[in-house]
Amino acid sequence: MTPQEEKQITEWNARLSDEIQIQLIITEDDRTKEFRAFCDILAGLAPNVRIKREKEEGRPGMKIGKNLYYHAIPLGMELSPFLDILSMPQNLAETQIRMPVDLKLYVSQHCPFCPQAVRQLAPIALANELVRLMVIDGGLFPEMAEKDEVQSAPTLLLEDMFRWSGSMPVAEILTTISDRDPAKLGAASLENMLSEGKAFKLSQMMLDHKLVFPAFFDLITHAKWQIRLGAMAAAEEIIDKDKSLAEAMIAPLRERFEKADDQIKGDILYVFGQIGSADALMNVEKVLSGAYSEQVREAAEDAMI
């Protein structure tokens, strides 16, 4: 960090009236040390900033508020918008967004247009709990940029279906977010909702749309137990509120059943048992009469109770 950047942080801190908390995401990734070093310097220069350390899996970074993630070290041109975001109120007026949104904004420390892009998009995430924004330095995380085929900054990705590069047409972005077909929602957005404990909000969205989102079945068969648990809680809510919509889950889960491991097979059988229709229970009976492991057969017996 340069002396000019240190001075910028010190002067910014002097204008603060309230304490600000940042969550430092610590992982096994070696790049964690860069985020830890930045947070240590920031907290030393700005006594009003409190760093909360959390160990997680995946990529290191920083979390601001409920759903704004920085997988970037905000130095150079990115320091000023980062400090501006920290100063923004967390209770901004909520925008009219009804579906989960997964945004990835790729930036660079030397990009002259990236600071404005960050300033334009951060308030959208801070104003709506359904919007998750990740600010990513493509130079620091080149594997992410390569996977998303990002070659310039700033670049914004929405659900891996839409992208904008250069200037950010905020009105167009908001319209695209609002007008999306719920059937095309990506698994990442739905997974984020479950990770944040919003299983019942997700189930209510599907009930309101009279549609079980296709990506939802990726969650019921997810490798992580916590994600499957959240998905099953959402499924139970649908079963309780709308039997016909619940039956729409049978065929997609049946298609995934044979390729799933035994634990996931058991979870699918549990959902079939909760649905309780003749079609659902027929799939359970096939397991009882078929060549399956003892674990799967026990799950089928429990589902029939």
pLDDT, one tens digit per residue, over 262-276 is: 999 999 999 999 999
CA 176, CA 289: separation in Å to the nearest integer?
A: 49
CA 73, CA 115: separation in Å to the nearest integer?
A: 13
Q: Contact at 8 Å (CB) between 237 and 206?
A: no
For the chain, which residues make up each domain, given as ranges? 3-179, 182-304
Q: What is the CATH code of the structural domain delimited by 3-179?
A: 3.40.30.80
Q: Which tokens go with 54?
A: 């959390």
Write down the pLDDT at residue 211. 93
CA 99, CA 182: separation in Å to the nearest integer?
A: 7
pLDDT tier for residue 91 given thresholds of 50, 70 and 90: low
pLDDT tier for residue 109 given thresholds of 50, 70 and 90: confident
pTM as predicted: 0.78
Q: Which tokens go with 134?
A: 């990740």
Percent pLDDT > 70 in the chain is 98
Q: Which tokens go with 75?
A: 């130095």
